[in-house]
Amino acid sequence: MTSTFVKAWKDVLRPMFIRPKMVQVAALCYRESGNGIEVLLVTSRGTGRWIIPKGWPINGLTGSGAALQEAWEEAGVVSAQINKRPVGTYEYSKETDEGLMLPVTTYVYLAKVSHLEDEYPECEERERVWVRPREAAEMVNEPELSALLKTL
C-alpha cells in the first residue's frame, strides 16, 4: 500500500506542485573604454528595474544567437562578439500576466559590443546605460547576477 502512495506522489502529485524551471538566455554586453570595462544595463518593461538583455530561446538559433537577438531588440546592439558558451547562470521568478510566479534559470553569454544603434525595436520602452561592473552589480536585483557582474 505504501509503495502505491509513493508511486502516486512521485508520478502524479509531485509534478503538479513542483514545476520545472523555465529557461531564458541573456547577453552580458560589455565594452572597453578609457575607464576600463563597462557593462550595458537596460530597464525591464514591466517594473523598470535594471537588468541585462534577456529573453526566451528562439527556434533555429543557438543560445548565444538568441541572446544576441535579445540584445538587439532590447538595447540596440548591432555588432558584438559573443561567447558560444555561457559564462554563468542566475535564477529569478518571473511574474506572468495571470500573476503566477515562474522559476526561471537564465544562461548568460558574454558579448563584447562594438556598435549600438539609437533606433531599435524597444527603444521607446526601455532605458539603457553603460556602467562599471561593480555599479551594475548594485543596480540589479538578482543576487546571482550581481555576483556574476562582480567577477568582470
Query: pLDDT digit string (tens) for 34-69?
Result: 889 999 999 998 889 999 999 999 999 999 999 999
CB 64 within 8 A of CB 84: yes
pLDDT at residue 17, as a whole number: 59
pLDDT for 20: 63
Cell digits of residue 37: 570595462
**Position 1, amino acid:** M
Instruction: Identify the pLDDT of residue 11.
Output: 61
Q: Where do the domains of the chain lie, and which CATH numbers do they carry? A: 19-150 (3.90.79.10)
pLDDT at 8: 62
- Listed as ranges, residues in the chain with pLDDT below 50 are none
| pLDDT value, residue 101 | 85
Q: What is the pLDDT of residue 95?
A: 81
SS (H, E, C) 2-25: HHHHHHHHHHHHHHHHCCCCEEEE
Predicted confidence at residue 12, as pLDDT, reads 60
Judging by DSSP bridges, how do beta strands 22-33 and 101-116 pair with one another?
parallel
Enter the pTM of the model.
0.84
The residue type of 97 is: D
Residue 10, CA distances (Å) to 1, 13, 88, 100, 124 in order: 14, 7, 31, 23, 47
